Amino acid sequence: METVPNPDSPSSEGFTTTSPNASASSSSPAAGSNPSSSPPSVPSPSRYESQKRRDWNTFGQYLKNHRPPLSLSRCSGAHVLEFLRYLDQFGKTKVHTQMCPFFGHPNPPAPCPCPLRQAWGSLDALIGRLRAAYEENGGKPEANPFGARAVRLYLREVREMQAKARGISYEKKKRRKPPPPSHQGGQPDAGPSDRPRSPPPATGATA
């Protein structure tokens, strides 16, 4: 997605304090242990999981800065829409207004003063990650504010508006059907019913 503020709090970084004695004892191998053996490495999170965690932290910080502060349990689809509109100030996608001469032009030849917005694709992916993070953090699917009808309608409106303003199409491309397998020589193999039949044997004349 596009540039989004990342107000991760220090508590989310998992800082811990250790005493010097503890660090010294941890650096020396224990008696009877094999110094060559190492603990199994923990696999690093995928790019999707890392981005989902950052998005969830960003939304949590947004709720804390909300006036008045808003708890997650009281968050609704209307608050999600406020959050999406708040993110527009960090967008990098030029969305032409109807008064702009480049309205509907996919490649404008000159700059214009039209505002920058979050692209529809970025918002759609963001909502998908937040919707999954909400349920992973104990939220009930039926109360998920990121799956509210108002949010779906808003994303649809943004898609249609940006498609017209930017002169592009967001329609999914249909997959082409693979061509039928070609037979050698350009002719299909003759099946049992396609093979020429021999004429019946001639019978003698009857008296």
In 3D space, the residue among 169, 129, 108 whose CA is nearest the CA of residue 1 turns out to be 129
Burial class (CB in 10 A: 0-12, 13-18, 19+), 75: buried
Q: HSE on the CB side for 173, CA within 13 Å?
A: 3
29-49: pLDDT as tens digits: 455 555 555 566 667 889 999
Position with higher pLDDT, 97 vs 195: 97
8 A C-beta contact, residue 29 and residue 80: no
Position with higher pLDDT, 153 vs 18: 153
144 backbone φψ class: left, alpha, beta (φ>0; ψ -120 to 50):
beta
8 A C-beta contact, residue 134 and residue 146: yes
Mean pLDDT of 150-174: 86
128 has a pLDDT exceeding 70: yes
57-109: pLDDT as tens digits: 999 999 999 988 888 889 999 999 999 999 999 999 999 999 999 999 888 88
Six-digit token string for 84: 């999406």
